[in-house]
């Protein structure tokens, strides 16, 4: 029997893996669980760390809001962008909806009066604002012109997303009548109608919809190529001016919002409330919850601020949050229902995922009969059992999930759910990696189906007309099991399938011909290789240029060639593929070196699929073809995506990080660390005029 301390240590280590996993998903903009569930994991982790007396330096870093993405220049904030203290729900037993506490809020208010030396009978005016569920951004305007946009990051420094924000047209490029300099903070968000339209397109192409507008917005703002972002419809609300120079400003938060509106900035003046008594402020928050379902954007609570700006500097705050504001959080709708069974899904990479089969229940406007259990450690942590009454929420109001169990209603003789030891689809013995369980059999029928769906999806080979329903038919009736089989299908065979016909079959054959020319990066995405997403696929394709060079390298890496390992995953610094850590490289190159993946690639070669990096060389320029360029800073007239397009059209390669193999660094205003590295390495520097001159050769 295990020692009690060892059981706690096992749980502690499992929680560390889960938290790290969910942090990665959050930063990638595809979270599986809502913030409240993540907070519960962190709370339990910290509790165990305290009980086990784990030193602070050995605990995982849970700095709120860390969102740095490799490839983005980090900028230090003039003053910290801190998260807000929250009024926590008073009922945390998992039963029913929980509500924020008036007592907690009044306690916060009393402390502010004491901090300021104000008599308890003297009221502090409070401004109540909706808490937009988006991503925080800091905007620098110089003489009214937008110069830079930076994410909140870890509160001290954030990622420069100026190109993305400008391309999305999410904030004003200019503030009317502003002659001085100022920093404006606000929230980028995705309006519900635009977000819904985007998700409908994803579903139409057989792709997984985004979990919620906030994380979808975060994902768009971290796209390295921001071209076309304005079609997404990202918007903003601006609400704070923490710094200004040569610019007289109002003295209250209410007046600041009015001033920003006068300058042409998007603000939410119609939604705010100026309260002269704390009970009135709290009551407004409670009433506002009824308006929440009718708003055109997501909010997850309210923000209550001291209205007088001169008081802010007199309140010290903490390293995590200021003392001049507090957040009132809305709880998600939570409903009880019966857990009738637990099934296991097999994904395209072989990952086994438990799914709850439920007695149908209405949650957040839709009927839910299935809900995610995410992974087996999460299922075990919640101790979910068949026959339990469970509470259901929708993560981001979209994806149903089981959040807790009503233990008072647990039937007698229920049993804990045992992790599967064999794949439910093919019977192969499962393998474990991190917190997940995988089926290692590439011929597993469920994997085959999911891989083919993914291969045909818009993000991969974009085969128009080959949706999920048709994939099922071509597998069952035409014997398609591999991506190369897709390109071997005959028009006559397709025409005989249900709901097809001659015209649909002919159109699909045209789509297949077009898809053959997508290029190496899209093929790599379509192969469903674990840890290999779109950006890394593009980086691999651009670096190795051909599939033969990539496969040769993968073989050398797999065999332990020290030069290959140092090239992509050195012990210190970053390798030639930005963002590729050693563990990621081990996984990706192991699959690329495997006989199954090599067999698929050889099959694609035989049917004429382009297996080289695809570049537009119609305007190729001698001296530019094959040369590597990195851009840093803001150019005078060209946007970053415009400059990148010109370089690519001339035959050049646009990278995201500076290395010895970089040929040119194009330098604009506010160039960051890339310029410093280029100078140290002695790399050729170009300004915009020099770049244009080179491209005209």
CATH second-level architecture of 4-58? Orthogonal Bundle (1.10)
CATH topology for 85-329?
D-amino Acid Aminotransferase; Chain A, domain 1 (3.30.470)
Kindly state the tokens that stand for 182: 């100022």
d(CA 239, CA 265): 9
pLDDT the model gives residue 63: 44
Task: Give 412 or 654, the one with higher predicted confidence.
Answer: 412
Which pLDDT band holds residue 61 (cuts at 50, 70, 90)? low
Mean local confidence (pLDDT), 7-18:
74
- CATH pick for 628-695 out of 3.40.50.10190, 3.40.50.1820, 3.50.50.60, 3.30.390.30: 3.40.50.10190
DSSP H helical ranges for 545-681: 547-558, 562-568, 582-592, 595-606, 640-649, 673-681
Contact present, 65 and 154 (Cβ < 8 Å): yes
Give the pLDDT mean for 456-469.
85
Q: Is the pLDDT confidence value at 497 over 60?
A: yes
Contacts 24+ apart (CB under 8 A), 472-476: 473/497, 473/498, 475/448, 475/449
Q: How confident is the model at residue 64 (pLDDT cuts 50, 70, 90)?
A: very low
131 noted as active-site residue = yes
H-helix or E-strand containing 181?
strand 181-189
Share of residues in the chain with pLDDT > 90 (%): 31
pLDDT at residue number 649: 75
Please determine, for residue 406, whether its predicted confidence score (pLDDT) is greater than 70: yes
Supply the DSSP symbol for 177. Answer: T
pLDDT band at residue 93 using 50, 70 and 90 as cut-offs: very low
Number of other residues whose CB lies within 10 A of the CB of residue 567:
17
Q: How far, in Å, CA of 420 to CA of 379, rounded?
A: 13
Burial of 470 (0-12, 13-18, 19+ CB in 10 A): buried
23: pLDDT strictly greater than 60? yes
| Residues whose CB is less than 8 angstroms from the CB of residue 32 and which lie 6 or more positions away in sequence, other chains included | 22, 25, 211, 372, 374, 395, 399, 401
Quickly state the pLDDT bin for 646 (edges 50, 70, 90).
Answer: confident
Token pair for 492: 């006559």
Backbone angles phi, psi at 568, to 5 degrees: -110, -25
Lowest-confidence range among 84-93, 132-141, 452-461, 469-478? 84-93
Secondary structure class of 243 (helix, strand, coil): strand
Q: Which residues contact 58 (CB under 8 A, 6 or more apart)?
A: none
pLDDT, residue 676, reads: 80
**Shared fold status for 445-515 and 520-606:** yes
Whether the CB-CB separation of 159 and 69 falls below 8 Å is answered with: yes
pLDDT in the model for residue 389: 93
Domain 335-409 has CATH 3.30.565.10: no
- At 423-433, the pLDDT tens digits run 998 999 988 87
Residue environment code for 518-555, b if the CB has 16+ CB neighbours within 10 A, otherwise e: bbbbbbbbbbbbbebebbbbbbbbbbbbebeebbebbe
* The most confident of 109-118, 559-568, 660-669, by mean pLDDT: 109-118
Mention every residue, 6+ apart, whose C-beta is less than 8 A from residue 405.
94, 382, 383, 384, 385, 388, 389, 390, 391
pLDDT of residue 460 exceeding 90, the answer is no
**Is domain 520-606 in CATH 1.10.150.20, yes or no?**
yes
Is residue 292 very low, low, confident or very high in pLDDT (cuts 50, 70, 90)?
A: confident
Q: What is the pLDDT of residue 321?
A: 82
Question: Does pLDDT of 29 surpass 60?
Answer: no
Helix (H, G, I), strand (E, B) or coil at 333: coil
Give the model confidence (pLDDT) of 355-389 as tens digits.
999 999 887 667 888 888 888 888 888 899 999 99
Helix axes 582-592, 595-606, angle to 10 degrees: 60
From residue 55, alpha-carbon distances to 40, 50, 62, 147, 154 in Å are: 21, 9, 14, 43, 22
Angle at 587 between CA 586 and CA 589, to 5 degrees: 70
Spatial strand order of the sheet with 664-667 comes to: 653-655, 628-632, 664-667, 684-686
pLDDT band at 4 (very low <50, low <70, confident <90, very high): low
For residue 200, the 8-state DSSP code is H
Give the whole-angstrom CA distance, residue 436 versus residue 383: 17
Q: Which of 478-482, 565-569, 573-577 has the lowest mean pLDDT?
A: 573-577
pLDDT in tens, 190-218: 999 999 888 888 777 667 777 778 878 98
Taking Cα atoms as reference points, which of 639, 386, 617 lies closest to residue 519? 617
**Residue 172 and residue 139: Cα distance in Å, rounded?**
10
Mean pLDDT of all residues belonging to the chain: 84
Phi, psi of 338 (to 5 degrees): -90, 130
- Please tell me which residue, 572 or 611, carries the higher pLDDT value: 611
E strands in 604-690: 628-632, 653-655, 664-667, 684-686
The domain ranges of the chain are: 4-58, 85-329, 335-409, 445-515, 520-606, 628-695
Which residue in the list 86, 131, 661, 674 is annotated as catalytic? Answer: 131
Whether the predicted pLDDT of 247 surpasses 50 = yes
3-state class (DSSP) for residue 535:
helix
Q: What pLDDT does 572 receive?
A: 67
Tens of pLDDT, residue by residue over 142-152, are 999 999 999 98
Local confidence band at 65 (pLDDT 50, 70, 90 cut-offs)? very low
Architecture of domain 445-515: Orthogonal Bundle (1.10)
Higher pLDDT, 239 or 460: 239
SS (H, E, C) 15-33: HHHHHHHHHHHHHCCCCCC
Local structure of 76: helix, strand or coil: strand
* 153 band by pLDDT with thresholds 50, 70 and 90: confident
Confidence of residue 14 (pLDDT cuts 50, 70, 90): confident
pLDDT of amino acid 459: 77
Q: At what angle do helices 4-27 and 35-51 cross, to 10 degrees?
A: 150
Model pLDDT, residue 168: 92
3-state DSSP assignment of residue 332: coil
> Which of 42-56, 60-74, 228-242, 614-628 is predicted most confidently?
228-242
**CA distance linking residue 113 with residue 540, whole number of Å:** 58
């Amino acid at each position: 029997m295990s020692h009690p301390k060892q059981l706690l240590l096992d749980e502690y280590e499992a929680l560390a893996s889960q938290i790290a996993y969910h942090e990665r998903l959050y930063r990638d903009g595809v979270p599986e669980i809502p913030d409240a569930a993540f907070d519960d994991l962190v709370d339990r982790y910290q509790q165990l760390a305290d009980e086990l007396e784990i030193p602070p330096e050995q605990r995982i870093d849970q700095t709120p809001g860390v969102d740095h993405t490799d490839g983005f220049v980090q900028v230090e904030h003039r003053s910290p962008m801190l998260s807000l203290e929250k009024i926590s729900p008073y009922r945390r037993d998992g039963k029913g909806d929980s509500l924020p506490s008036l007592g907690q809020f009044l306690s916060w208010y009393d402390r502010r009066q004491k901090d300021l030396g104000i008599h308890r009978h003297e009221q502090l005016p409070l401004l109540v604002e909706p808490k937009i569920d988006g991503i925080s951004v800091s905007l620098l305007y110089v003489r009214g012109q937008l110069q830079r946009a930076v994410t909140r990051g870890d509160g001290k420094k954030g990622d420069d997303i100026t190109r993305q924000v400008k391309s999305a047209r999410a904030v004003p490029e200019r503030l009317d009548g502003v002659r001085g300099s100022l920093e404006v903070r606000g929230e980028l968000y995705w309006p519900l109608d635009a977000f819904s339209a985007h998700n409908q397109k994803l579903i139409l192409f057989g792709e997984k919809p985004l979990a919620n507008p906030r994380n979808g917005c975060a994902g768009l703002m971290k796209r390295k190529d921001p071209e076309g972002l304005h079609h997404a419809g990202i918007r903003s609300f601006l609400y704070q001016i923490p710094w200004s120079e040569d610019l007289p400003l109002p003295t209250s938060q209410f007046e600041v919002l009015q001033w920003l509106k006068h300058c042409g900035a998007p603000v939410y003046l119609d939604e705010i409330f100026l309260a002269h008594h704390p009970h009135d402020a709290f009551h407004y928050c409670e009433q506002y919850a009824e308006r929440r379902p009718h708003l055109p954007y997501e909010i997850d609570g309210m923000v209550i601020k001291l209205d007088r700006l001169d008081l802010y500097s007199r309140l010290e705050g903490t390293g995590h949050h200021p003392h001049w504001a507090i957040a009132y959080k809305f709880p998600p709708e939570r409903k009880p229902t019966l857990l009738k069974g637990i099934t296991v899904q097999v994904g395209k990479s072989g990952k086994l995922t438990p799914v709850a089969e439920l007695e149908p229940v209405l949650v957040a406007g839709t009927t839910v009969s299935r809900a995610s259990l995410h992974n087996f450690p999460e299922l075990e942590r919640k101790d979910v059992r068949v026959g339990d009454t469970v509470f259901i929420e929708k993560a981001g109001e979209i994806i149903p999930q089981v959040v807790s169990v009503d233990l008072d209603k647990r039937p007698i003789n229920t049993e804990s759910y045992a992790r599967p030891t064999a794949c439910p689809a093919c019977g192969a013995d499962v393998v474990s990696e991190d917190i997940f369980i995988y089926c290692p059999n590439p011929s597993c029928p469920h994997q085959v189906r999911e891989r083919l769906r993914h291969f045909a999806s818009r993000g991969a080979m974009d085969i128009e007309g080959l949706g999920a329903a048709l994939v099922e038919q071509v597998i069952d009736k035409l014997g398609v099991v591999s991506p190369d089989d897709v390109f071997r299908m005959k028009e006559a065979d397709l025409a005989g399938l249900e709901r097809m016909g001659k015209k649909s079959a002919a159109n699909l054959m045209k789509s297949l011909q077009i898809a053959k020319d997508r290029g190496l990066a899209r093929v790599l995405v379509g192969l469903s290789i674990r840890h290999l997403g779109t950006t890394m696929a593009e980086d691999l394709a651009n670096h190795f240029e051909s599939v033969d060079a990539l496969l040769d390298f993968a073989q050398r890496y797999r065999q332990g060639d020290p030069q290959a390992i140092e090239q992509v995953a050195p012990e210190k610094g970053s390798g030639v593929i930005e963002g590729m850590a050693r563990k990621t490289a081990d996984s990706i190159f192991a699959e690329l070196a495997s006989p199954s993946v090599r067999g698929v690639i050889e099959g694609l070669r035989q049917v004429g699929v382009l297996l080289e990096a695809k570049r537009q060389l119609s305007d190729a320029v001698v001296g530019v073809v094959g040369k590597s360029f990195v851009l840093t800073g803001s150019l005078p007239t060209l946007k970053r995506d415009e400059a990148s397009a010109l370089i690519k059209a001339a035959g050049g390669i646009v990278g995201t990080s500076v290395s010895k193999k970089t040929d040119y660094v194009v330098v604009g205003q506010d160039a960051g660390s890339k310029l410093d590295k280029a100078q140290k390495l002695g790399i050729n520097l170009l300004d915009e005029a020099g770049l244009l001159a080179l491209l005209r050769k």
